[in-house]
């Protein structure tokens, strides 16, 4: 602990300045570690989170009654006693909901209808069964105890392998199988690669179910406007706004009649707050039923039980390997467990990484089976990393296994297979177009300066003393801004042709200048703590020659009034390659307009006009200048003074949808994302034979995220993702017992690491700007969620000399690996 | 018990001001502070005493406000995050250090953390780094990875500590 | 996660408090720090008709040396005792075990006696009390009685307290020798999976206490220089009726005892 923090404390500001060198060239604010403009409100208790905002008079409070059974028929619900309780307005059941709404749209054409309350049957513990609407939450919870539900428990299926086995209990009988979808993909000639390989290395890995649980739970405030038959809902929803059409369809209304607004502040999300969407529909319907506004604040028990989870995945991976370590081909069988229902936009995690399945390696022959399985568990959805942690657990574990089987150093196996420097843009076997990078150099830098030698020395010394010390590595390609067409790879070609191509990732931002020259910005990214207000103000300030604190940024979203599209939202690292670019383009548009207006007033050509220091001035004669506000004001006050062809007013919206994001090809090639950063991690860990705990001794993380827009915020993202990666590697897991009971329903059982559990982190940067975005910036918020779990798994495998490492590597699991038969009572020393 | 109990009058000092509200006995202090008294800077993260988001200072010591009832606070003195900046809204040294070190992201857990250290540093103005870590251990933060929070607090501690004696002068 | 309704009583004296307990019987709960009780109320795992808040009773806020005992009143918080300047001198075991109790923020409000009353088998304070052979002072309308620690804690979360009794104080014997303490938990501040304490009683005798492994603290007295301490510990591991939960199997608890106990004993000897 102390080491790392000392290091961070000693770090000179100039190190962060240097990190932003690329983005800063030619710009005054972008690339600098500007302190956050969000912070003052948050530090003084003046944040405005959803539960802090005023609600209309007469607003009622809702409480969700949830199923205690993992699988049961609902034979009847008796609400009479609950309704008799003073203060209770309504008890709403699935029957009411099914009358007023349609099931949510799903990505596969299978009969798996889901409404916002269970209809006729429950399929997981925690599934919403009834909604109590009352004067306050205390009374609503009292009423919940009075609702009598007659359940007929049914047999359950929890284990995903059992679920796809013979005679499995069916989660949805109408589907006829729990394997909801299977697609097989072949790229190159994997059969030939395997036939001619010197060796085939195989491994099964299992990625756990877990969630990065934000500290703020879900909040929804819904009103129904009877006169317009429209819903007005405030929710701490994070996007993607592709869920908006899903909600509108469920509510049987055009999208314009679902006004969804997001609050100014949101207490973290990490993917989770997409899954508030069924509750947006539920509370909207409740408001309609009771004729009053309805507010719901999810509590922590509900949240852990069933808010959202990343999917668990079982991957069988086989590598066709040559004796020099080269991987000639790869086979992946990915079985992903989405729980009891497939919710839009699932099965995202199974397909979002599709183009990048071969990671940082030049592997041309690939066979993939993607299988979706349903079980009696809570539905899975977004979770930071979004499919990345799952694939890299398989890919980087197999690299470590190859090294062990060939008697090579894992780093040498990695180096043998890395995509060579100079081959960018690089088209992967499965169709991703990697934009830029130099992976070998990144690894040289990370392992340099004695860092690798130090790790090896630590390992050697520890092992010489009989201690259990291991080194792990992980190389990760981190995608940024998803191609919204990736999910259509789920469909066979014929089905894709029938429904038409899906592609792109539309980002939008608007810059507005008022009659006195004040600048405001809106954009399609409802922030949850990522510092987007600060970065957008840096970007716009650069274009307009102002300082960032002169730019007001409002990231509350109102779907009736603001620019948005299906890609809008905060997920999959879309801010830096997406929204930031849109803001940059919008600012450029308005800058160009100001230049034309100013040119006329300065009597120069528009090309000669620059905006700097709050002035609109002639580049060739800087003394010839006008105040920014005066030039801007012309567009409002004096349209007559505008040059010909320039519209009055100053408001520009830019739309950014890069051409590289094409639909899937006929050969199932798909460029799943726009930018591809690189992360290389290495760590030394020690297993404590006394306590069975894994102690991370040293952890180094190398990042190439292209140009850094704000290095201070970038490092904050890396630190946060790192600790979440540690959580996945060593601490957090949602556990169900065999009967479907949920075992990790409190923060005492679902163990989120505190500062005491967090090891030191050393961050190194390099910058290979993306050629596909004007700012050169890539995503970087998810890389360590992808790299850390497998890096630590590899180190544990190295320390213990084992093949199978289940995550999280808890003391209990380590104990199972370390101990053999227990001596009989009275047999003396157990060791 | 389903029957509701009559509300009781609760008068306490919140951030230096005497305030009054009515509370059923079971009303959690978090709900009273936020929804009755309107001080929404205190946040609710788990309602079972683990996450620390709701930490406030009660009669001089930092404590979870989800693990207390409003009626217990009649006559008490409570400080929340809203008390930290001065009357003109200028942030104090701890708040400034959090900003300088990027020790917050979403900010939801931050109020509680600030209140823990407000109490702790009053009683122990020159703690070691390990002691700071130990106090922070009573909070969950999902965004920052904690390192910057420790740096921010240590920055305040070091600014407070008397300058190192010049060994040459001894 | 909101509690059910209850009456809130704030008695001014111990007599008033025990009267209230007598009135409500099992339907009343003592509320002191609330750090274990209120989560259970918020989960609706308990349904008391009344909470009897004793924090304001002046008679319960003492930390006092009484003969060869340190007496701690029922309203004394864990942090108050921990910052009592003479703690390490008089009860060295408590001074090293109590920093493991919860967190700074919960110790600020959680009471020493509340931890005893809650009787979690993993808790450090009941383990310390059991190891030192301390006493629990109970009062009811029928009068006072004093129970030894091992008479008081009868199992997992269960004690010999009668419905109309409240703990007014606990007494820790002073003058015990050097102590060592260590525990394993998933995270710092969590309930221990296994906790081990050791205290030297005399040059020839030590006490070893195990928390978290069985349904209540287990204490053994060993000759400190006995050559077969290791086999004693092995025997102890088997004697413990260990339990399984999410974080550890029965076997793992035994193995933790096998590993931690020798380490703690050797720390004691060093």
Q: Which of B36, B66, B37, B73 is nearest to C10 (CA)?
A: B73
Q: Above 80 in pLDDT, residue A623?
A: yes
C190 plus C168 within the same structural domain: no
B116-159, pLDDT tens digit by residue?
Answer: 999 999 999 999 999 999 999 999 999 999 999 999 999 999 99
Domain assignment of residue B165, yes or no:
no
Distance from CA of A215 to the nearest CA of B (A): 5
What is the predicted pLDDT for the residue at A25?
54
What is the predicted pLDDT for the residue at A54?
97
CB-CB contact of A133 with A62 (8 Å): yes
Query: Which of C3, C184, C189 is closest, CB to CB, to A691?
Result: C184
What is the predicted pLDDT for the residue at A395?
98
Domain coverage including residue B108? 93-160
A666-691, pLDDT tens digit by residue?
Answer: 999 999 999 999 999 999 999 999 99
pLDDT average, residue stretch A644-667? 97
B79 plus B97 within the same structural domain: no
C6-60, pLDDT tens digit by residue?
Answer: 999 999 999 999 999 999 999 999 999 999 999 999 999 999 999 999 999 999 9
A128: left (phi over 0), alpha (psi -120 to 50) or beta: beta
pLDDT average, residue stretch C204-219? 95
CB contact under 8 A, C8 and B72: yes
Residue B30 belongs to domain with CATH number:
3.10.20.30
Q: Mean pLDDT over all residues of chain B?
A: 94
Residue C66 belongs to domain with CATH number:
3.30.465.10
Distance CA(A698)–CA(A459), nearest Å, equals 11
What is the predicted pLDDT for the residue at A822?
84
A9-53, pLDDT tens digit by residue?
Answer: 333 334 444 444 444 456 899 999 999 999 999 999 999 999 999
In chain C, which residues have their Cβ closer than 8 Å to the Cβ of B5?
A: 5-8
B134 plus B152 within the same structural domain: yes
CB contact under 8 A, C39 and B48: yes
pLDDT average, residue stretch A797-801? 98
C184 plus C250 within the same structural domain: yes
| Chosen domain end from B35, B63, B83 | B83
Domain assignment of residue C71, yes or no:
yes
pLDDT average, residue stretch A750-759? 97
Q: Mean pLDDT over all residues of chain A?
A: 95
Q: Above 60 in pLDDT, residue A3?
A: no
What is the predicted pLDDT for the residue at A824?
76
CB-CB contact of A403 with A201 (8 Å): no
CB contact under 8 A, B133 and A755: yes
B20 plus B78 within the same structural domain: yes
Q: Above 60 in pLDDT, residue A497?
A: yes
A392-437, pLDDT tens digit by residue?
Answer: 999 999 999 999 999 999 999 999 999 999 999 999 999 999 999 9
Query: Which of C49, C53, C105 is closest, CB to CB, to B116?
Result: C105
C46 plus C24 within the same structural domain: yes
Proportion of chain A above pLDDT 70, given as a percent: 96
| Chosen domain end from C155, C173, C191 | C173
Q: Above 50 in pLDDT, residue B89?
A: yes
Residue with tokens 């020493």: C112
Q: Which of B33, B108, B117, B149 is best to mutate for the A interface (most A CBs within 10 A)?
A: B108
CB contact under 8 A, A754 and B91: no
Distance CA(C258)–CA(C263), nearest Å, equals 9
Q: Is A45 on the interface with B (CB under 8 A)?
A: yes
| Chosen domain end from C139, C173, C207 | C173
State residue C107 phi and psi, 5-degree precision: -70, -25
pLDDT average, residue stretch B41-59? 98
Domain coverage including residue C238? 179-269
In chain C, which residues have their Cβ closer than 8 Å to the Cβ of B47?
A: 1, 42
Q: Is A709 helix (H, G, I), strand (E, B) or coil?
A: coil
A96-106, pLDDT tens digit by residue?
Answer: 999 999 999 99
Distance CA(C46)–CA(C24), nearest Å, equals 15
B70 plus B99 within the same structural domain: no
Residue C26 belongs to domain with CATH number:
3.30.43.10
Query: Which of A138, A735, A829 is closest, CB to CB, to C246?
Result: A735
CB-CB contact of A198 with A187 (8 Å): no
B79 plus B100 within the same structural domain: no
Q: Is A747 on the interface with C (CB under 8 A)?
A: no
Q: Above 80 in pLDDT, residue A73?
A: yes
Domain assignment of residue C2, yes or no:
no
In chain C, which residues have their Cβ closer than 8 Å to the Cβ of A748?
A: 190-191
Q: Subunits with at least 3 CB pairs below 8 A relative to chain A? A: B, C
- Within 10 angstroms of residue A623's Cβ, the number of other Cβ atoms is 6
Distance CA(A16)–CA(A481), nearest Å, equals 25
Tell me, what DSSP letter sits at residue A706? B
Distance CA(A92)–CA(A65), nearest Å, equals 10
Query: Which of A2, A45, A713 is closest, CB to CB, to B80?
Result: A45
Q: Above 50 in pLDDT, residue A7?
A: no
Q: Which residues pair with residue A336 across a beta bridge? A: A313, A372
Domain assignment of residue B149, yes or no:
yes
Q: Is A1 on the interface with B (CB under 8 A)?
A: yes
CA atoms within 13 A on the CB side of A76: 4
Domain assignment of residue B166, yes or no:
no
Distance from CA of A429 to the nearest CA of B (A): 35
CA atoms within 13 A on the CB side of A98: 12
C43 plus C78 within the same structural domain: no
In chain B, which residues have their Cβ closer than 8 Å to the Cβ of A531?
A: 105
In chain A, which residues have their Cβ closer than 8 Å to the Cβ of C252?
A: 692, 811-812, 815, 819
Q: Is C6 on the interface with B (CB under 8 A)?
A: yes
Q: Is C177 on the interface with A (CB under 8 A)?
A: no
- Could you report the predicted ipTM of this complex, rounded to two decimals? 0.96
What is the predicted pLDDT for the residue at C270?
85
CB contact under 8 A, A146 and B2: yes
Q: Above 50 in pLDDT, residue A195?
A: yes
What is the predicted pLDDT for the residue at A692?
97
CB contact under 8 A, C2 and B26: yes
What is the predicted pLDDT for the residue at A527?
87
CB-CB contact of B80 with B15 (8 Å): yes
C80 plus C21 within the same structural domain: no
Domain assignment of residue B124, yes or no:
yes
CB-CB contact of A320 with A99 (8 Å): no
What is the predicted pLDDT for the residue at A26?
66
Distance CA(C59)–CA(C169), nearest Å, equals 10
A472-496, pLDDT tens digit by residue?
Answer: 999 999 999 999 999 999 999 999 9
Number of domains chain C contains = 3
C85 plus C101 within the same structural domain: yes
CA angle (A733 as vertex; A729, A737 as ends), nearest 5:
140
Q: Is B55 on the interface with A (CB under 8 A)?
A: no
Tell me, what DSSP letter sits at residue B32? I
| Beta strands, E only, B24-146 | 55-58, 61-64, 77-79
Label each residue of chain C as H, E or C.
CCCCCCEEECCCCHHHHHHHHHHHHHHEEEECCCCCHHHHHHCCCCCCCEEEECCCCHHHCCEEEECCEEEEECCCEHHHHHCCCCHHHHCHHHHHHHHHCCCHHHHCCCEHHHHHHHCCCCCHHHHHHHHHCCEEEEEECCEEEEEEHHHHEEECCEECCCCCCEEEEEEEECCCCCEEEEEECCCCCCCCCEEEEEEEEECCEEEEEEECCCCCCEEEEEECCCCCHHHHHHHHHHHCCCCCCCCCCHHHHHHHHHHHHHHHHHHHHC
Domain assignment of residue C204, yes or no:
yes
C93 plus C169 within the same structural domain: yes
C69-79, pLDDT tens digit by residue?
Answer: 999 999 999 99
What is the predicted pLDDT for the residue at A828?
46
| Chosen domain end from B83, B101, B133 | B83
Q: Which residues pair with residue C193 across a beta bridge? A: none
Number of domains chain B contains = 2
B73 plus B128 within the same structural domain: no
CB contact under 8 A, C55 and B72: yes
A552: enclosing H helix or E strand: strand A551-554
Domains of chain A by range and CATH?
50-154+218-298 (3.90.1170.50), 309-485+662-818 (3.30.365.10), 506-656 (3.30.365.10)
CB contact under 8 A, A690 and C260: yes
Residue with tokens 């990490």: A270
Query: Which of A39, A45, A723 is closest, CB to CB, to B82?
Result: A45
Distance CA(A283)–CA(A117), nearest Å, equals 11
State the pLDDT confidence band at B164, using cuts at 50, 70 and 90. Answer: low
Q: Above 50 in pLDDT, residue B169?
A: no
C153 plus C195 within the same structural domain: no
Q: Subunits with at least 3 CB pairs below 8 A relative to chain C? A: A, B
Residue C247 belongs to domain with CATH number:
3.30.390.50
B19 plus B46 within the same structural domain: yes
| Chosen domain end from B59, B83, B107 | B83
Distance from CA of B25 to the nearest CA of C (A): 6
Query: Which of C190, C248, C258 is closest, CB to CB, to A812?
Result: C248
What is the predicted pLDDT for the residue at C57?
97
Which chain B residue lies closest to A140 (C-alpha atoms)? B2
Q: Is B148 on the interface with A (CB under 8 A)?
A: yes
CB contact under 8 A, A812 and C249: yes
C197 plus C164 within the same structural domain: no
Domain assignment of residue B3, yes or no:
no
C165 plus C116 within the same structural domain: yes
Number of residue pairs across A and B with CB atoms under 8 Å? 199
Residue B108 belongs to domain with CATH number:
1.10.150.120
B63 plus B31 within the same structural domain: yes
Distance from CA of C109 to the nearest CA of B (A): 6
CB contact under 8 A, A826 and C184: no
pLDDT average, residue stretch A364-390? 98
Which chain A residue lies closest to B143 (C-alpha atoms)? A720
What is the predicted pLDDT for the residue at C224?
76
C75 plus C150 within the same structural domain: yes
pLDDT average, residue stretch A215-232? 98
C169 plus C67 within the same structural domain: yes
B152 plus B97 within the same structural domain: yes
pLDDT average, residue stretch A764-768? 97
Q: Above 80 in pLDDT, residue C246?
A: yes
């Amino acid at each position: 602990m102390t080491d790392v923090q000392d290091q961070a404390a000693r770090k000179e500001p100039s190190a962060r300045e240097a990190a932003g060198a690329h983005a800063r060239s030619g710009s005054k604010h972008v690339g600098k570690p500007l302190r956050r403009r969000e912070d003052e409100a948050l530090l003084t208790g003046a944040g405005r989170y959803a539960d802090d905002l005023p609600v209309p008079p007469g607003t009622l409070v809702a409480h969700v009654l949830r199923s205690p059974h993992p699988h049961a028929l609902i034979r009847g619900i008796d609400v009479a006693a609950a309704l008799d309780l003073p203060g209770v307005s309504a008890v709403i059941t699935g029957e009411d909901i099914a009358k007023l709404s349609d099931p949510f749209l799903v990505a596969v054409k299978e009969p798996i209808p889901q409404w916002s309350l269970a209809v006729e049957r429950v399929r997981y513990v925690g599934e919403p069964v009834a909604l109590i609407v009352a004067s306050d939450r205390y009374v609503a919870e009292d009423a919940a105890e009075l609702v009598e539900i007659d359940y007929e428990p049914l047999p359950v299926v929890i284990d995903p392998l059992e679920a796809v086995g013979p005679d499995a209990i069916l989660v949805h009988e109408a589907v006829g199988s729990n394997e909801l979808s299977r697609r097989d993909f072949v790229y190159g000639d994997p059969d030939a690669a395997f036939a001619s390989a010197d060796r085939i290395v195989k491994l099964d890995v299992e990625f756990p179910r877990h969630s990065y649980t934000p500290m703020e739970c879900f909040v929804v405030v819904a009103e129904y406007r009877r006169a317009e038959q429209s819903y007005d809902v405030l929710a701490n929803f994070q996007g993607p706004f592709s869920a908006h059409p899903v909600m509108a369809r469920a509510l049987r209304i055009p999208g314009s009649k679902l006004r969804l607004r997001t609050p100014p502040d949101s207490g973290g999300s990490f993917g989770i707050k997409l899954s508030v969407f069924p509750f947006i529909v539920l509370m909207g319907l409740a408001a309609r039923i009771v004729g009053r506004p309805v507010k719901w604040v999810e509590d922590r028990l509900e949240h852990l039980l069933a808010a959202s989870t990343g999917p668990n995945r079982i991957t069988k991976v086989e590598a066709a390997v040559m004796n020099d370590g080269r991987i000639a081909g790869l086979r992946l069988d990915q079985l992903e467990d989405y729980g009891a229902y497939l919710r839009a936009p699932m099965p995202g995690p199974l397909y979002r990484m599709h183009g990048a399945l071969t990671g940082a390696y030049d592997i041309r022959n690939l066979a993939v089976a993607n299988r979706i399985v349903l079980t009696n568990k809570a539905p899975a959805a977004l979770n930071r990393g979004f499919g990345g942690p799952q694939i890299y657990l398989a890919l980087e574990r197999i690299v470590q296994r190859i090294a062990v089987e060939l008697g090579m150093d894992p780093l040498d196996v990695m180096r043998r297979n890395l995509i060579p420097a100079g081959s960018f843009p690089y088209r992967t076997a499965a169709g991703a177009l990697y934009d830029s990078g130099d992976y070998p150099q990144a690894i040289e830098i990370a392992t340099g300066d004695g860092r690798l030698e130090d790790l090896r020395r630590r390992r050697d010394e520890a092992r010489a003393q009989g201690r259990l010390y291991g080194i792990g590595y992980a190389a990760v390609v981190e995608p940024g801004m998803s191609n919204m067409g990736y999910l259509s790879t789920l469909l066979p070609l014929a089905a894709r042709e029938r429904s038409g191509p899906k592609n792109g990732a539309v980002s939008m931002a608007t810059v507005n200048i008022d009659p006195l020259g004040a600048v405001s910005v809106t954009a399609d990214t409802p922030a949850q703590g990522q510092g987007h207000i600060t970065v957008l103000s840096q970007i716009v300030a650069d274009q307009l020659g102002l300082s960032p604190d002169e730019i007001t940024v409002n990231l509350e979203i109102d779907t009736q009034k603001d620019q948005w599209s299906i890609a809008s939202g905060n997920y999959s690292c879309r801010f830096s390659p997406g929204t930031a670019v849109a803001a940059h383009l919008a600012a450029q548009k308005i800058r160009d307009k100001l230049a034309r207006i100013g040119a006329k007033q300065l009597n120069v050509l528009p090309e000669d006009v620059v905006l700097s220091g709050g002035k609109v001035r002639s580049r060739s004669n800087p003394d010839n200048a006008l105040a920014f506000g005066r030039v801007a004001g012309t567009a409002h006050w004096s349209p007559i003074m505008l040059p010909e062809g320039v519209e009055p007013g100053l408001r520009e919206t830019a739309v950014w949808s890069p051409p590289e994001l094409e639909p899937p090809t006929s050969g199932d090639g798909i460029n799943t994302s726009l930018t591809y950063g690189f992360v290389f991690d290495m760590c030394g860990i020690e297993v404590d034979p006394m306590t069975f705990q894994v102690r991370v001794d040293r952890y180094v993380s190398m990042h190439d995220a292209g140009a850094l827009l704000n290095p201070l915020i970038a490092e904050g993202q890396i630190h946060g993702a790192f600790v979440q990666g540690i959580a996945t590697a060593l601490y957090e897991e949602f556990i169900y017992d065999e009967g479907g009971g949920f075992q990790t329903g409190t923060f005492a059982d679902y163990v989120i690491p505190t500062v005491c559990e967090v090891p030191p982190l050393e961050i190194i940067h390099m910058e290979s700007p993306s050629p596909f975005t004007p700012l050169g910036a890539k995503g970087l918020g998810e890389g360590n969620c992808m790299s850390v779990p497998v890096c630590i798994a590899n180190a544990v495998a190295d320390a213990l000399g084992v093949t199978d490492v289940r995550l999280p590597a808890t003391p209990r699991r380590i104990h199972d690996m370390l101990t053999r038969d227990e001596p009989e009572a009275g047999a003396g020393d157990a060791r | 018990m389903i029957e509701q109990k009559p509300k009781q009058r609760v008068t306490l000092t919140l951030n230096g001001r005497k305030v009054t509200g009515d509370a059923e006995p079971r009303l959690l202090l978090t709900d009273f502070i936020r929804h009755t008294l309107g001080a929404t800077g205190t946040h609710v993260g788990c309602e079972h005493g683990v996450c620390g988001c709701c930490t406030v200072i009660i009669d001089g010591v930092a404590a979870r406000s989800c693990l207390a009832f409003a009626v217990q606070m009649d006559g008490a003195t409570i400080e929340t995050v809203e008390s930290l900046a001065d009357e003109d809204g200028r942030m104090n040294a701890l708040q400034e250090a959090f900003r300088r070190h990027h020790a917050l992201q979403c900010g939801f857990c931050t109020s509680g953390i600030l209140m823990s250290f407000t109490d702790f540093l009053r009683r122990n103005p020159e703690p070691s780094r390990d002691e700071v870590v130990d106090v922070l251990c009573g909070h969950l933060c999902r965004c920052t990875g904690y390192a910057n929070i420790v740096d921010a607090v240590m920055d305040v501690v070091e600014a407070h500590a008397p300058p190192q004696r010049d060994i040459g002068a001894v | 996660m909101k509690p059910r309704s209850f009456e809130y009583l704030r008695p001014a004296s111990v007599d008033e408090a025990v009267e209230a307990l007598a009135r409500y019987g099992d339907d009343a709960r003592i509320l002191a720090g609330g750090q274990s009780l209120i989560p259970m109320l918020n989960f609706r795992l308990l349904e008391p008709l009344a909470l009897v808040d004793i924090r304001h009773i002046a008679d319960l806020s003492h930390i006092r040396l009484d003969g060869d005992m340190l007496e701690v009143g029922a309203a004394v918080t864990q942090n108050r005792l921990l910052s009592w300047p003479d703690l390490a001198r008089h009860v060295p075991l408590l001074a090293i075990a109590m920093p493991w109790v919860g967190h700074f923020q919960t110790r600020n409000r959680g009471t020493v006696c509340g931890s005893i009353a809650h009787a979690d088998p993993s808790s450090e304070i009941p383990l310390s009390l059991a190891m030192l052979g301390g006493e629990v002072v109970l009062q009811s309308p029928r009068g006072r009685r004093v129970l030894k620690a091992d008479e008081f804690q009868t199992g997992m979360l269960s004690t010999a307290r009668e419905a109309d009794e409240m703990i007014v104080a606990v007494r820790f014997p002073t003058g015990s020798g050097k102590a060592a303490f260590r525990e394993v938990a998933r995270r710092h501040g969590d309930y221990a999976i296994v906790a081990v304490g050791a205290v030297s009683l005399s040059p020839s005798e030590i006490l070893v206490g195990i928390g978290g492994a069985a349904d209540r603290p287990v204490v053994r007295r060993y000759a400190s220089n006995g050559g077969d301490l290791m086999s004693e510990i092995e025997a102890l591991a088997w004697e413990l009726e260990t339990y399984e939960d999410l974080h550890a199997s029965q076997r793992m608890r035994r193995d933790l005892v096998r590993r931690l106990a020798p380490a703690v004993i050797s720390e004691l000897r060093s």
